[in-house]
Amino acid sequence: MSEDTIFAPERIEAARKIFAGPVTFLKSAPALKFLPDADVPEVAFAGRSNVGKSSLLNALTNRNGLARTSNTPGRTQELNFFDVGEPVGFRLVDMPGYGFAKAPKDMVKQWRFLVNDFLRGRQALKRGLVLIDARHGIKDVDREILDMLDKAAVGYHLVLTKADKVKATELADVIGRTTEEGRKRPAAHPEILATSSEGGMGIAELRAAVLDAVVA
Ligand SMILES: Nc1nc2c(ncn2[C@@H]2O[C@H](COP(=O)(O)OP(=O)(O)OP(=O)(O)O)[C@@H](O)[C@H]2O)c(=O)[nH]1
Ligand SMILES: [Mg+2]
């Protein structure tokens, strides 16, 4: 579906309604053997530690505290699954962050395997949301994940976070740079979403993008 159709007013409204309905925590998987059955489509939130994955999941679902957030990087250490809809229509997956310098080495290794194996091998995974801090733009640690998704041919959206923390001119600049880089990547969707979990910027559009990913 083309990008303009995804963000058409009726799609935005349909997405708003779905996310205003039931959303419940399903389970936490500290290792791949604990994953739930891959019986509904999934959309996963990936990104550096502290980039705002859990906050964005809360903003999307309009439920503060559904996914745990924290100022300390490394808050999310397992794959957390959230069911949307009743009956369940799709699942959101909150993932541990990568690129967290202060974490113990073997812990980092464990998360890396978990995240990589999940992103590469999960049949139900329909799309990744790769979150990028609007203040920093795409970094090399992000490129590792993007390379992997490109190789595995898992489609993803590049999503800028914390847009409220940068000036409008800086935001325009980082959107430009991110769009440029996204264009060269085979599995990246062309539209860059600039979001703020604080101010609500881009949240309605992101809901519509998630809906687009899970309706076959
Ligand atoms: N100003 C602002 N702060 C944000 C935004 N999103 C997240 N934060 C803050 O950034 C910090 C990290 O947010 P989290 O959502 O816990 O980040 P995470 O990516 O889930 O982190 P890990 O689970 O450690 O990988 C928290 O203090 C949030 O309040 C945003 O859009 N704007
Ligand atoms: Mg988190």
Backbone angles phi, psi at 132, to 5 degrees: -130, 130
Q: Which ligand 1 atom sits nearest the alpha carbon of residue 77?
A: 23
Does residue 166 have a pLDDT over 90? yes
Does residue 107 have a pLDDT over 80? no
Q: How many CB atoms lie within 10 A of CB 29?
A: 17
Does residue 115 have a pLDDT over 90? no
Per the CB < 8 A criterion, the answer to whether 155 and 213 are in contact is yes
Does residue 75 have a pLDDT over 90? no
Does residue 70 have a pLDDT over 90? no
Share of the chain above pLDDT 70, in %: 96
pLDDT value at residue 136: 97
Does residue 121 have a pLDDT over 80? yes
Q: Residues near 38 by Cβ (< 8 Å), separated by ≥ 6?
A: 122, 123, 124
The verdict on the CB of residue 58 being under 6 Å from ligand 1 is no
Average pLDDT, the chain: 93
The verdict on the CB of residue 80 being under 6 Å from ligand 1 is no
pLDDT one-digit tens code per residue, 1-24: 666 688 999 999 999 999 999 999
d(CA 53, CA 93): 10
Strand order in the sheet with 193-194: 23-29, 79-84, 90-94, 42-47, 125-133, 156-161, 193-194
Distance 30 CA to ligand 2 centre (A): 14
Does residue 104 have a pLDDT over 80? no
The DSSP symbol for 155 reads -
pLDDT value at residue 114: 87
Question: From atom 11 of ligand 1, which residue's Cα is the shortest distance away?
Answer: 71
Q: Which ligand is nearest to the CA of 199?
A: 1
The verdict on the CB of residue 76 being under 6 Å from ligand 1 is yes
The verdict on the CB of residue 51 being under 6 Å from ligand 1 is yes
Label residue 80 by pLDDT band (50, 70, 90).
Answer: very high
Q: Mean pLDDT, to the nearest integer, of 150-173?
A: 97
pLDDT value at residue 1: 62
pLDDT value at residue 101: 66
Share of the chain above pLDDT 90, in %: 77
Does residue 118 have a pLDDT over 70? yes
Q: Which ligand 1 atom sits nearest the alpha carbon of residue 197?
A: 31
The verdict on the CB of residue 61 being under 6 Å from ligand 1 is no
| Cα dihedral 175, 157, 212, 46 in deg (nearest 10) | -130
- Segments of 71-155 assigned E as strands: 79-84, 90-94, 125-133
Question: From atom 24 of ligand 1, which residue's Cα is the shortest distance away?
Answer: 74
Lowest mean pLDDT among 37-51, 111-125, 153-167: 111-125
Q: Which domains does the chain have, with CATH numbers?
A: 3-214 (3.40.50.300)
